Structure 1
Amino acid sequence: MSIPTAAAPDRVSVSFCLIDRAGGVLAAEGADRPYYAASTIKLHVLLTALRAADGGALDLEATVPATRTFTGYDGTRFTLGGDHLDPTHPADGAAISVRDLLRRMIDRSSNEATNHLVELIGIDAVDETIQRLELGATRVERLIGDAAALEAGRTNETSADDLARTMLALVRRDEATAGPEAHRARHPATLPAQSRRSTQARHSAWDPRAAQSPQPSLSIASVELARAALRAQQIPLITTAVREDVDHGSKSGWVDGYRHDVAFLGDPDGEELHVLAAMTSGLQPQEADARIAQLVRDLLPAATA
């Protein structure tokens, strides 16, 4: 079974963006160019979910029934299947914690976990995170595998610059607050009404009475959760070229014709933290991987073997 993704690319393209811990651009090429995002949108979902948890709107310890069936753009239900399923995902109806959904979405790129989380928090909330970070090339407009949304022209796109800045927002802790009470005091606004309506009736993990707008910084606990999931990445690209003693974490994404990755490299609390995002289109997987690995060697020789 084929899961709808995106039109095949019409050209070969490689873009990258390397930033330091302050967000300063150290090297870039085509960094603002939008690409079909593939699974890299899972970073934006992660950031949104963690901000919702910090604001008291999402309970990470709550359990929900696992599912592979979701509500599409046109209101009809669709079920993920085929090679795009995670064979280790719990059976439909089995209990799974929201925390485990977050981890599975990142470390093994679970599409089931991603769609489940988007239905929990609402796609409007993901868009608000994108707007707050001022990510000019990023659009998250549909669930994974939603054929009706794809037919309606809705897509998921991002750029190397946007990916690098999203990763930095997830792993940098120097401005993180102590917890949800501090977030609530600083940011009293609520999540969009559509997000509340789409989740309120179905999931006890979501509390619309406590819903908070996505915050500009994460709590320390949320940063640590994000770092741990990114470090556990099971499908690395950039970090295959990095020495084992260099602290790193990443999130890759791929569909036919597109192959991307974004990684933090170095101690996230140290001055030498770097974030590298690489996006490719129109290349065969092996060639794309080789081009990405060479970028790491060229841009960060001190981190490579």
Structure 2
Amino acid sequence: MPIPTAAAPDHVAVSACLLDAEGKVLAADGADRPYYAASTIKLHVLLAALQAADTGVLDLDERVPATDTFTGADGALFTLGGDHLDSTHPADGDPVSIRELLTRMIDRSSNEATDHLIELIGLDAVGEAITELGLTSTRVERMIGDASALAAGATNETSAADLARTMRALVRTSCPPSAPTSSAQASSAQASSAPTSSAQASSAQASSAQASSAPTSNAPTSNANTSGAPIPHGGLAPHSGPSTHSDLAPEAGLSARSVDLARTALRAQQIPVIARALREGVPWGSKSGWVDGYRHDVAFLGDPDAADVRYLAVMTSGLDPEAADEEIARRVRALVADVAA
């Protein structure tokens, strides 16, 4: 029996968000639009698990019996199967450390590891991490493969803006760089044809009020296209208004140990999309996600400790995998031309 995911999208859409080292929006296109999240929810599970480790709730060195069977929302057990199983995952009952579960959830997108971690920390902890980070379009309401939760209307959603912000929270240090915008960032802005507005520096409170009534910029082009063909990037310009996702919003505050674990797992990504469009030698780490009709990726580009690091998220719906990958590559070339292949 197929593992439940989400209903197929009925239209084509592409959204993107690019942040600088301080979390300010450099460019955005439909960035707050929610999409079915697929495996990108694993970033939010990672954030919640690392916060639990930092507070002593979770011991990353503890070894637990590996499993592919979990408790659904209705209290009944369900078992993952088919393509949702990782052939390299430890056999049922074999000991595995929580640290290894975290790594496997990210570098090879293990669904077994993800559900195991959610059982250990609880969906409420994931929701609290999302709320504390101020994410506005993200919901993680069910475990992967939980048919009972899906039938009850539970879903997992996020947006390009929330993904970029979550990536930044996972890999930034407690003392972010304060150097001025680098020449690399300036090059990216020039590629989009307009200077970044100073209005980006406005507060998160004012930004949220304005963003709640503003239309998404990709609606006219993306939603009207139902042919399945790649969508043109439409000359994405740097964000010219107040940012909904300002660096003034709450931070994750992860320990140096947790940040190092997150960076290591993201750099070991075995299923990259954005990175395929980068020049050789550009540092990166990423987390992709896909199910039928949806394909997404989010990455940090550059050294997370440097002032010129950027965070790029691109989400797609209604495209086949090859067309989606090409559309994501086009966004890379349009938004970060200085590091694109």
Structure 1 residues 263-274: aligned runs within 5 Å: 263-274=299-310
TM-score between the two structures when normalised by the length of structure 2: 0.77
Code of the aligned partner of 2:298: V
Partner residue in 2 for 1:41: 41
Q: Return the offset for 1:45.
A: 0.3
Code of the aligned partner of 2:313: A
Task: Report runs of 4+ in structure 1 exceeding 3 Å deviation.
Answer: none
Conservation of the 8 A alpha-carbon contact between 1:51 and 1:215 = no
Counterpart CA distance in 2 for 1:216 and 1:68 is 30
Q: Return the offset for 1:245.
A: 1.2
Partner residue in 2 for 1:62: 62
Asked if residue 229 in structure 1 is aligned to residue 272 in structure 2, the reply is no
Counterpart CA distance in 2 for 1:284 and 1:267 is 32
Q: Say which SS state the counterpart of residue 163 (structure 1) adopts.
A: helix
Identity %: 70
Structure 1 residues 107-122: aligned runs within 5 Å: 107-122=107-122
Choose 1 or 2 for highest CA Rg.
Answer: 2
Counterpart CA distance in 2 for 1:165 and 1:298 is 20
Two-structure CA RMSD over aligned residues (Å): 1.2
Counterpart CA distance in 1 for 2:158 and 2:37 is 5
Counterpart CA distance in 1 for 2:324 and 2:77 is 35
Counterpart CA distance in 2 for 1:107 and 1:151 is 30
Conservation of the 8 A alpha-carbon contact between 2:133 and 2:251 = no
Residue 215 to residue 116, structure 1, CA distance change in 2 (3 Å): farther
Partner residue in 2 for 1:184: none
Q: Which runs of 5+ in 2 are unaligned?
A: 177-249
Q: Which runs of 5+ in 1 are unaligned?
A: 177-213
Q: Say which SS state the counterpart of residue 338 (structure 2) adopts.
A: helix
Conservation of the 8 A alpha-carbon contact between 1:247 and 1:265 = yes
Partner residue in 1 for 2:330: 294
TM-score between the two structures when normalised by the length of structure 1: 0.86
Q: Return the offset for 1:84.
A: 1.0
Partner residue in 2 for 1:32: 32
Partner residue in 1 for 2:197: none
Counterpart CA distance in 1 for 2:24 and 2:112 is 35
Partner residue in 2 for 1:254: 290
Deviations 1:193-213 (A, max 9, x none): xxxxxxxxxxxxxxxxxxxxx
Q: Return the offset for 1:215.
A: 7.7
Q: Say which SS state the counterpart of residue 4 (structure 1) adopts.
A: coil
Partner residue in 2 for 1:18: 18
Q: Return the offset for 1:10.
A: 1.2
Code of the aligned partner of 2:15: S
